[in-house]
Chains A and B, each alone.
Chain A
Amino acid sequence: MMIKGYEVVVGLEVHAELNTKTKIYCNCKNSFGLEVNTQVCPICMGMPGTLPTLNEKVVEYAIKMGHALNCGINRICKQDRKNYYYPDLPKSYQISQADIPLCHDGYLDVIIGDDVKRIGIERIHIEEDAGKLLHSDKFDGSLVDFNRCGVPLIEIVSKPDLRGSDEAKAYLETIRSILRYIDISDCKMQEGSIRCDVNVSVHKPGEPFGTRCEMKNVNSFSAAVRGIDYEANRQIALIEAGGTVVQETRRWDDAKGESISMRSKEDAQDYRYFPEPDLLTIVVPEEKVQYLKDTLPELPNAKIMRYVNDYSISHYDAAMIVDVPEKSAFFDKCMNVGCKAPKLLANWVLGEISKFMNEGTAIEDTKLTPEKLVAIVNYINDGKISTAAGKTIFDVILTEDKDIDAIIEEKSLSQVSDASALEAIADEVLAANEKSVNDYLGGKTNALGYLVGQCMKASKGKANPGIMKDIILKKLTK
């Protein structure tokens, strides 16, 4: 994407909160939305004399992401202290990783329109989250909620390989999808479980990269798009007016739709990183690194391609199913229990199942099982029941644990596909509707629909409409 002849270069630092049961350095529960300062202990509140001990799940989760993004794994690495003062940081340092990240030098293939673009991943490291400042009208000053202190984070740093906000958005969506598939993050933007810092520069094609600005406080994917566009336009306008872009950190104000300078490169904070002396070197056994690689689930892009190639589902539909891990998992289960019509199944997953899921009902909240849906789909595919009958059955089995065949029996939903029975009906209807027969033979082809409709009516809706139509056609053209 070009703006006014300039190429917009973007690099992203994505911070994702991991969904481990406990925090990274203590046994406090890692959960969002609970009463302020209740998920805390002396350790995550940084009280004097307390010491951190590493939650090994955090290392495992980060390595999973490393594998998913094709990274090298530094199975021997360390943790470092990043020193700075802020009231939400109780120790006045954040335990992070400086020069040796857990994962390094990977890539991610991102589907952008009809193309696939490979985006370089510089590093992934583990660190702890800080607390949150709260403000209240009833209180003159700031309050601190320490619940989030020590929530584990991974920071995923891309290379400046993205061009413009569209690619950035596609990259972010792919990252989010992977995080969900390997089940290491809840990815709830509104809860701040994914946040990003955006680096933007502009240059004319063929010229060297421009000076970059870093933008902080980007809290949603749409804000990232707006922020990148704003920042690119700001830099271009500056250059066009004869000015130069200075390296600085800016703060994105999404409500105002603009970025504000926070500090220049000269004022950059000196974090005085040094190795965390309270923690030992991280040493992950080779076998564990390999095990985490071998047990990685199928990733979203691979899944989409499999649906397209193996099941002949359209790319659009495949992407829609894969976008929601629960839908895709259900789809896969259905295929595993003998579904004979994947395209038809896809319609059901994107239709009826999406309908109740969009209303906030999860599949496990219903009585639906893969076996039952597959029975319905296969019956429709075989012509044993009509699509309408399928939906009738579906509505029943959502709330009742009933046998499909019993429902068909009970509601007389099975289709009549037996040729001799259908021929008898056809003979009767044709005999009773001489005018329509003559209309058809006289060239009014839409009379056929009427005749089929009359047959369906005569069969009380049970006739297989496809076969019925064939029989009538055959009789009319005799």
Chain B
Amino acid sequence: MNLYEYNAYELSSMLKDKKISSRELTASVFDRIEEVEPKVGAYLYTNKEAALAKATEIDNAIANGEDLGRLAGIPIGIKDNISTKGIPTTCASKMLENYKPVFNATVIEKLEAEGVVMTGKLNMDEFAMGSSTENSYFKSTKNPFNTECVPGGSSGGSAAAVAAGEAIVALGSDTGGSIRQPASLCGVVGLKPTYGSVSRYGLVAFASSLDQIGPFGKSVKDVALLQDAICGYDKMDATSVNRSYSSLYDGLSENIAGLKIGIPKEYFGEGIRPEVKAAVMNSVKELEKKGAIVKEISLNSTDYALSAYYIIACAEASSNLARFDGVKYGYRAQNCDGLVDMYEKTRSEGFGREVKRRIMLGTFVLSSGYYDAYYKKAKLLQKRILSEFNEAFNDVDVIITPTSPFEAFKIGERSGDPLAMYASDICTVTINIAGLPAVSVPCGFSASGLPYGMQIIGKKFDEQTILNTAYAHENIFGAFKMPTL
């Protein structure tokens, strides 16, 4: 078995016991990148020399008996909307093609302190807007299980890199499903943490009230390890929550006897492929056999969630992306006739179609005369959705749904039809609206060998229970098997 195939938690012990070096491990991952990257295209930026130098540094530190984090020496890929000092952070946009931040995101500072080895920056849909990574200005990423298919999105590069062994673990961001949906399509584990548990400082904002950084891994244990490393209060982010965060990794338990699982009927209706429903329900049955209690529940407002999501997300995006105006950094159009012309040309040329569509939508719903009809109503709906979840969680411990209504689709299949693309997110957006934690775990394969994913949703800050459920599930269905590329 190659080193890149192992889980982070396994590699962590091997490094600690000096059975392997971080340099060997990092070299193995870069060999894999060189081998499969032409087929997968997960990365926008890699720096092998810097990574190997860092790995050597960590090896020395381990040799000196220095106290490092559990992820010390582990190669990790970073989504390209997370700010890395001196390293391109493009958000997969022409607008930021040559932009290098002068500071690190808080999560990067935390990982640096942990001693991780950064492999590079991962592809995504432009400014995290999309569900297929086809909206990247630079390239499309391919699904490692079938390179004619999309890896999902927007964190498609992160999911594909982990599934293909091009990184041991990875960071993504999730505004409406951007971690969970690609995790589902690439057969890996992806966690969207509770809003406020991971600092957003340094994450280039798409929709501030919904965005959350989270981990990808091949196993639940890896996701727990990475989440432990990045969570915590940060005074630089006013929306981060000041509370104690106990180790999810240490708390993992596969004992789910008595766990109450809610199955919301609205998530198993029209629009969800029957095979996906069957796979999820099969998993639920297995969990029941381990002692879980399954209950059908109802979340009435689900039908309106997608509309509310697109109103809130686009409204915030229209304002968040207004700073890309050609004045200070990033792309500026040439041959402009005055300031307004410079603004118009810069933004017309610098942004892709989907980004412009959402900026226009957001600008419209905030306009005077329309604010009450759209934004205000969407915020009211958000309150109702949250109270429905709270009510549901009076009766159940976790809620299980499909992650994506369908498995990975062909590149180009949905890219011409925004609504068909938006349908990818019908099971995931509600969770961001409610600010809850949810993890996607693989739950079987389609006839053509494409992974299905199951979403486990928990109460606010109850990542432990959803990861325990995911861990029990993983122990029934077996470890991740890397696709042949």
Contacts and interface: CB of A to CB of B under 8 A. Distances in A.
Nearest to A45: B328
Contact of A87 (B82, B205, B327): B327
A379 interface: no
A376 to B, nearest CB: 54
Contacts of B325: 85, 87, 92
Interface string B195-222: 0000011111101110000000000000
Interface string A15-53: 000000000000000000000000000100111111111
Nearest to A272: B366
A90 interface: yes
B202 A49 contact: yes
A274 B375 contact: yes
Nearest to B375: A274
A91 B103 CA distance: 17
Interface in A339-366: none
Contact of A85 (B318, B322, B328): B322
B236 A51 contact: yes
Given A87-B327, A278-B208, A52 B319 contact: no
Interface in A184-208: none
Interface string A64-89: 00000000000000000101010100
A324 interface: no
B420 to A, nearest CB: 29
Contacts of A81: 319
A91 B323 contact: yes
B322 A48 contact: no
A144 interface: yes
Contacts of B237: 51, 53
Contact of A47 (B81, B236, B329, B367): B329
A50 B103 CA distance: 9
Contacts of B154: none
Interface bin, chain B = 35 or more
Contacts of B207: 277
A2 interface: no
Nearest to A87: B327
B366 A48 contact: no
A279 B322 CA distance: 18
A280 B367 CA distance: 23
A51 B318 CA distance: 16
Interface string A253-271: 0000000000000000010
Contact of B236 (A53, A54, A270): A53
Contacts of A87: 325, 327, 339
B265 interface: no
Contacts, number: 100
Nearest to B234: A51
Nearest to A48: B204
B237 to A, nearest CB: 5
Contacts of A50: 103, 201-202
Contact of B238 (A85, A92, A93, A280): A280
B333 interface: no
A85 B328 CA distance: 13
B322 A52 contact: no
B319 A83 contact: yes
B244 interface: no
A278 B205 CA distance: 10
B239 interface: yes
B239 A272 contact: no
A238 to B, nearest CB: 29
A87 B339 CA distance: 9
Contacts of A45: 328
Given A272-B367, A274-B315, A90 B236 contact: no
Given A270-B367, A270-B368, A272-B363, A54 B238 contact: yes
A48 B101 contact: yes
Nearest to A279: B238
A278 B101 contact: no
A158 to B, nearest CB: 25
Interface in B267-304: none
B83 interface: yes
A48 B83 contact: yes
Contacts of B102: 42, 47
Interface string B102-115: 11010000000000
Given A274-B366, A278-B208, A49 B105 contact: yes
A274 B319 contact: yes
A285 B322 CA distance: 35
B209 A85 contact: no
B201 A51 contact: yes
Given A48-B89, A52-B238, A53-B238, A93 B316 contact: no
A353 B177 CA distance: 71
Given A51-B238, A53-B236, A54-B238, A92 B322 contact: yes
Nearest to B363: A272
B103 A144 contact: no
B99 interface: yes
Nearest to A26: B236
B343 interface: yes
Contact of A272 (B103, B204, B368): B368
Given A272-B368, A274-B366, A274-B375, A47 B101 contact: yes
A91 B322 contact: yes
A168 to B, nearest CB: 30
B154 to A, nearest CB: 16
B6 interface: no
A383 B402 CA distance: 98
Most chain A CB atoms below 10 A, which of B83, B237, B328: B328
B45 interface: no
B353 interface: no
Contact of A83 (B99, B201, B235, B322): B322
B201 A272 contact: no
Most chain A CB atoms below 10 A, which of B83, B96, B238, B368: B238
Interface in A80-108: 81, 83, 85, 87, 90-93
A48 B323 contact: yes
A91 B96 CA distance: 15
Nearest to B103: A42
B335 to A, nearest CB: 14
Nearest to A146: B328
B161 to A, nearest CB: 21
Most chain A CB atoms below 10 A, which of B204, B205, B327: B327
A280 B239 contact: yes
B371 interface: yes
Nearest to B328: A90
6 contacts: A48-B83, A48-B99, A51-B201, A83-B319, A272-B318, A274-B319
Interface of A: 42, 45-54, 81, 83, 85, 87, 90-93, 144, 270, 272-274, 277-280
| Nearest 7 interchain pairs by C-beta | A92-B322, A272-B366, A277-B208, A277-B209, A48-B204, A49-B202, A49-B83
Given A51-B236, A278-B239, 9 more contacts: A47-B101, A48-B204, A49-B81, A52-B238, A87-B325, A87-B339, A270-B368, A272-B363, A278-B208
